[in-house]
Each structure stands twice: as structure tokens, then as C-alpha cells.
Amino acid sequence: MADRVNPIVVEIIRNAVNSAAREMNSCLIKSAFGPGIYEMKDCSVGIFDREARLLGQSSGLPIFLGNLEICIQIVTDKIGLGGYRKGDVFVMNDPYLQGTHAADITVFSPIFYEGRLEGFSAVRAAMQDMGGKNPMGCSDSTEVYQEGLRIPPVRLCSEGKICEDVMDLLTINSRYHAMMRGDLNACISACYTGETRMGELYRRYGTKTVQEAALEIFRQSELLDRQAVAAIPDGEYFAEGCLDNDGITQEERPLKVKVTIQGEEMTIDLSGSSKMGIGPINCGEAQTIAACRVGYKEVINPESQVSGGTFRNLKVIVEKGSFLAAEEPAPCGWYFTGLGLLIDLIIKALAPVIPQQAAAAHYGDSNVILFSGYDSIRKKQFAICEATAGGWGAYDGGDGQNGMINVVNGDLKNWGIEFIESKYPLRILSYKVRPDSEGAGKYRGGLGLERTYRVETEEECNLMLWVERSKTTAWGLLGGHAAQAPDVVVNPGTPEEKHYLKTNMLPVKKGDIIKISTGGGGGYGDPGERSQKAIESDIENGYLTLEHVQRLYRR
């Protein structure tokens, strides 16, 4: 006890580091140029110690959780701690190193205090476009080289000065040079903000005290996690599902999860899952681990702050050659599709032993719709890419939510109708919930959504779709049913009507109508036990039709 830092100081430092991370985050969000960051909050920030252990973070995208440190570690391994200079800023996006895909950029900078390296501040943020064969991404890549510029760790700033040649090299490869430059500037400024705030903390308490406090913070997180895992009965728990396909070939892509609880330790073993795909469903191992951490965190102390001590009792096993441990040159553009499924499967596996913390599956995939081409109204190129919301899973005591964004997208917001119509050559004809799309249950799953677009440009317009989870739709728990699958239909009700889930650069023309419907969430418990009052309200509000209720809820 004697050499332990005063618990009061530990707590003050813990709060202060998280406050510093929040400040970095607001600096990034407010000054970013790309809507991916400012609107969708497709970003994450963290402050780390010298050994790349997390001191504090500000929540952003959950799947970015816990893989910023690996980026720092990679650079440290390469140049050594002595290789950093004050004011250096590194940038990288290599999917095989950091996981994720080309559009996600990691920017980090060493934190120096009184001439000594003390730690790092890091940012992960989504860029609007990183080059690649189609604007804002494609659904039919077969090699990473088609997906945009691949950046190994390089210095974006050297001793406080922007390396303009590197900056030019990066931004010239994006279709939106100025936006990318603005976003990178925002990232740099966020990193420096972290250094400034940490400097104040070192000045006040001394670096040694901050280091010792960090160890105590790690100890607290680790202890909490170990207690929570120990409370789950020992055993092996299984769940599996599949992706519809890899976007190129038609075969299903199974994903298998085995969760082993042994005392205070949890192991998530993904052996037996599909081999790498030809199409872009592959995911770098670093990101697979991060996704397992999200699933873990959803049931293990979801309320408590993450630190360098969190996840120490979590082990992840991924087979070499698996699509969840992508290797060059496997395409990784849609790496997150498998992760949405993976996170829900972890919960499903554990549901029988922790029903109080579990929920049925959600609709599961970003269901991305992208229009690009030439806007004849505004006389310029355009591209708009949207992830769509769907139904969430029910749980013991509550229905799932209607129309909410999928787990890997965190706090992402939908695009407003007036925003789209005023900026892009598209008309929104309707935006509504999709009745009867839920997984039935004592507590029912949430409903999917339906959005209908009409193309307004007289020039070229192409549609890209990446809509998944039509085969493993959101499952139910404890007798709850699975939900409806997603669907996209072009020109519904006409002789040319055609259904799609994935397509790349499909030409569409002025007046064409595209309706995207997303899946619902899974139900919880036997639908026959749903309360009469809840059913009446569902019918009165038009969420469920009478016929559907009679058939599935046995009334």
C-alpha cells in the first residue's frame, strides 16, 4: 500500500485524462470537413501512455475501440521509442496492420513533456474518399489495391511542421482534395490538443505520479472485468451464422463463435469460420479483435470507462487464412459486415447463461446505398453514401427499437430529407417504418425502415448497394422469432421491377425509383405470451397488421 499513489489523486487524474480525450474529440468533430466525422461521428480518440496502453478515451465508433494502440505499437516497434520527436504526427490506414479499410485513417502523435516522451494521443477518423476505383467505395473489389490508397505508417508532421509533400501525396489521391486536407488538419489539431492537456496534468502532478496513477487505473479496470467474467458460469458456449456471400461469389460465408468462460478468463474462438473471400468481406485481425472487445464490453461492465487494464482477461483466437484475419491482397472494403454479425453472435452464445444482459439480434448490417454520377441540376459530380437504420433486438422486459443504426456505426445519424434534396439530385418519396418486419415475441423486435428515392439527374447516375444479412436475419431468443430480411427494389410495380441486395455501378436514370427496405430486430420469448395491451397498441399504431398478429401471435 505504501508505494501506491494516493487514491484521490488517481481519481482526479482518471477524470482529467478522459476530459482531455473529450476535448480532443470535440476539437476533431467540430473542425472536420467530412460529414463522416462531423455528422456521423465516424471517429474515435484516445490518450495512451508510453507503452501504448490506453489512459482515457472519448467514445466514438465502438468498433474502433481498442485498436488504436496497435497502430502506435507498430510504429514503436519500427522506430523505437527514441525515434519519436516532439511535434511528429504519424498517419496510416493499412487494413492488414490496423484492421478496417482504406477510408479509415489513423493519426497519432507522441506526447512530450520537458523533453521526454510520455505517451501518445491518437485519432481514428473516416475520410470521405481515399481514391479507389469508384467514388466513396465499391462493392465488387477483389484486391485491396482497388479500394483506395494504402498508407503504411508515415510522418504527416515532422517536429511540428506539416510535411507538405506527404500531405499532397495523400490528398491528391482522394477525389475530394480539400475535404481530405481539412480532415487531416482536424486530426492533427486534435492530437496536439491531447498533448497540451496532458502537459498540464504532468505539470500539476509530475510524470511519475501520473504513471503510477495509470497503473492503478489499469488495476481497477482489470479487477472489475475479472469479477464480472467470474460471475458467468464456466463452460463453452456456441453460436453461428453466415454472411449472404462475399459480394463476388454466391456461396454463404459461415461465422462460428465459441466463447469459453474459465474462471475470470474469457476466450472467443472464431475457428471454423469461412476462409478469406474473393470479395471485400475480409477484415484485418486487429479489427476482428476490436469487434470481439465490443461484444465483450456490451455484457461486461458496459457502464465503466475503458482503460489499458480492460480486456486483459479476454483472449481472441482467429485462424490464419480466415476472412477475419485478412492478408494481402484480400479486399477489405466491407470488413464491418462480418463484425456486426460477430458481435451479436457473442451475445447469442452467452445469452443462455446471462439472459439478463442479453438481447436478441439486431438487423445487423450497415445496408449501404450509394448514388454517384453527374448532377445535371447543380452541374457537377456528386456522390452520396448512406448507411441505413433497421430494427433492434428485443430483450427481457422491452421491445426492440424501430429504425436505429447498426452496432458497428455507433452514434451515426441518418441523412435528413431536406438535406439530401437540397444537395443532391435525388428526391425522397417516403421514409417510414416497415410494418410486420419484426421478429415476433413476447417482447417484439424493432421494425425495419423503408426509404424510397427518385433519381432527378438527367445525366449519368449509378447505384451501388451493399445490403447483407438476408440469410442470417436477426434471430430471436428464448422462443422469440427471427425478423424479416432486407430488400431493395428498383422501379417497383412496373414491368422493369427488379430486386437487388448487392450491386456495383448499376446505371439508373432520371425518374427511376429505388426503394430500400431494411430488416427488423429479433423477438424475445414466445409471441403467444405478448400482452393484449401491447398487441392492441401495435395494431392501433399500424406497426403490425391484424393478419400478421393472428398468424404469429396466435390471437
Partner 1 sequence: MSYRLAADVGGTFTDIVLLNDDTGVYETTKVLTTPDALEKGILKGFDELAGDKYGQITSIVHGTTSGLNSVIERRGAHCALVTTKGFRDVYEIARANRPEIYNIRYHKPEPLIPRKDIYEIDERVSFEGTIEKKVTKEMMREVIVALKGKYDSVAVCLINSYANTKNEKEVCRILEEELDEGTIITASHEIAKESREYERVSTSVLNAYVAPSTRRHVFALSEELLKRGFGGTLYMMQSSGGVIRAEMASSTAVYTLMSGPVGGAIGASVIDRENIIGFDIGGTSFDVSIVVNNRMETTVEAEIEGFPVLAPTVNVFSIGAGGGSIAWNEAGGMRVGPQSAGAAPGPVCYGRGGEKPTLTDANLVLGHMSPEHFLGGRMQIDAEKTMAAFEAYGRQFGLDAEAAAEGVCEIANHKMADAIRELTVKRGIDPRNFSILAFGGAGPMHAALIAEMLDIKEVIVPANPGVFSAWGMLHADIRHDTGHTKVCLLSSLTEEDFHQNFAELKKELDEVLLKEGLQNEERNYICALDMRYFGQEYTISVDIPDETVFDREEIEQAYSDIYERLYGHHSPDNIVELVNYRMTVLVPVNKAAVKRRLSDSPAEPVGTLQGYFSSKKYDIDIYARECLVTGRKISGPAIVTELTSTTIVPPGWELTVDEADSMVMRRGNGGTEDGR
* Span near partner 1 by CB under 8 A; candidates 12-20, 139-147, 312-320, 322-330: 12-20
Binds partner 1 by CB under 8 A, chosen from 164, 422, 532, 547: 422
46-105: contacts with partner 1 (CB under 8 A): 59, 61-62
Least distance in Å: CB of 371 to partner 1? 16
Residue (165 or 418) nearer to partner 1, CB: 418
Q: What are 367-370's contacts with CB under 8 Å, separation 24+?
A: 367/406, 367/466, 367/467, 367/468, 367/486, 367/516, 367/518, 368/464, 368/465, 368/466, 368/467, 369/453, 369/463, 369/464, 369/465, 369/467, 369/488, 369/514, 369/516, 370/136, 370/137, 370/463, 370/464, 370/465
Binds partner 1 by CB under 8 A, chosen from 10, 167, 214, 385: 10
Least distance in Å: CB of 304 to partner 1? 7
Residue (113 or 296) nearer to partner 1, CB: 296
CA–CA distance, 526 with 441 (Å, rounded to integer)? 5
Residue (31 or 462) nearer to partner 1, CB: 31
How far is residue 426 CA from its own chain's centroid?
27
* Span near partner 1 by CB under 8 A; candidates 4-12, 136-144, 319-327, 330-338: 4-12
Given the C-alpha cell 479509415, which residue does it identify? 104
Binds partner 1 by CB under 8 A, chosen from 5, 34, 121, 139: 34
296-325: contacts with partner 1 (CB under 8 A): 297-298, 302, 304
- Name 172's Cβ contacts closer than 8 Å, sequence gap at least 6: none
Question: Which residues, listed in sequence order, are joined to residue 517 by a DSSP beta bridge?
Answer: 450, 487
- Name 306's Cβ contacts closer than 8 Å, sequence gap at least 6: 54, 57, 65, 66, 221, 297
Least distance in Å: CB of 275 to partner 1? 30
* Span near partner 1 by CB under 8 A; candidates 10-18, 233-241, 310-318, 508-516: 10-18
Residue (39 or 459) nearer to partner 1, CB: 39
Residue (276 or 347) nearer to partner 1, CB: 347
Least distance in Å: CB of 360 to partner 1? 9
E strand map for 127-205: 154-158, 161-162
Interface size with partner 1, residues (CB under 8 A): 88
* Span near partner 1 by CB under 8 A; candidates 27-35, 89-97, 275-283, 316-324: 27-35
Max CA distance (Å), the chain: 81
Least distance in Å: CB of 343 to partner 1? 9
Site string for partner 1, 426-455 (x = CB under 8 A): --xxxxxx---------------x--x---
Quick check: 332 and 145 in contact, CB under 8 A?
A: no
3-state secondary structure of 296: helix
CA angle 104, 474, 412 (to 5 degrees): 35
243-262: contacts with partner 1 (CB under 8 A): none
* Span near partner 1 by CB under 8 A; candidates 25-33, 282-290, 331-339, 484-492: 25-33
**Cell numbers that stand for 402 in this block:** 424501430
Site string for partner 1, 367-396 (x = CB under 8 A): ----------------------x--xx-x-
Residue (320 or 379) nearer to partner 1, CB: 379
Question: Which residues, listed in sequence order, are joined to residue 56 by a DSSP beta bridge?
Answer: 47
- Asked whether position 471 contacts partner 1 by CB under 8 A, the answer is no
Peptide bond into 62 cis (omega under 30): no
Least distance in Å: CB of 279 to partner 1? 27
- Asked whether position 479 contacts partner 1 by CB under 8 A, the answer is no
* Span near partner 1 by CB under 8 A; candidates 112-120, 410-418, 505-513, 544-552: 410-418
Residue (150 or 181) nearer to partner 1, CB: 181
CA angle 165, 168, 169 (to 5 degrees): 85
525-544: contacts with partner 1 (CB under 8 A): 540-543
CA–CA distance, 406 with 389 (Å, rounded to integer)? 6
Task: Return the amino acid letter for 472.
Answer: T
| Strand ranges of the sheet holding 253-262, from the earlier edge strand across to the other edge | 235-243, 253-262, 265-269, 314-317
Least distance in Å: CB of 25 to partner 1? 10
Neighbours of 356 (CB within 10 A): 9
* Span near partner 1 by CB under 8 A; candidates 103-111, 255-263, 294-302, 334-342: 294-302
Quick check: 421 and 448 in contact, CB under 8 A?
A: no
CA–CA distance, 440 with 479 (Å, rounded to integer)? 9
Residue (138 or 405) nearer to partner 1, CB: 405
Q: Which run of H or of E encompasses 342?
A: helix 335-350
183-242: contacts with partner 1 (CB under 8 A): 185-186, 189, 192-193, 204, 216-217, 219-221, 223-224, 227
- Asked whether position 33 contacts partner 1 by CB under 8 A, the answer is yes
Comparing CA positions, the residue from 282, 276, 343 lying closest to residue 316 is 343
Least distance in Å: CB of 549 to partner 1? 16
Least distance in Å: CB of 219 to partner 1? 7
CA angle 120, 77, 10 (to 5 degrees): 35
149-188: contacts with partner 1 (CB under 8 A): 176, 178-179, 181-182, 185-186
328-347: contacts with partner 1 (CB under 8 A): 347
Q: What are 532-538's contacts with CB under 8 Å, separation 24+?
A: 534/399, 534/444, 538/444
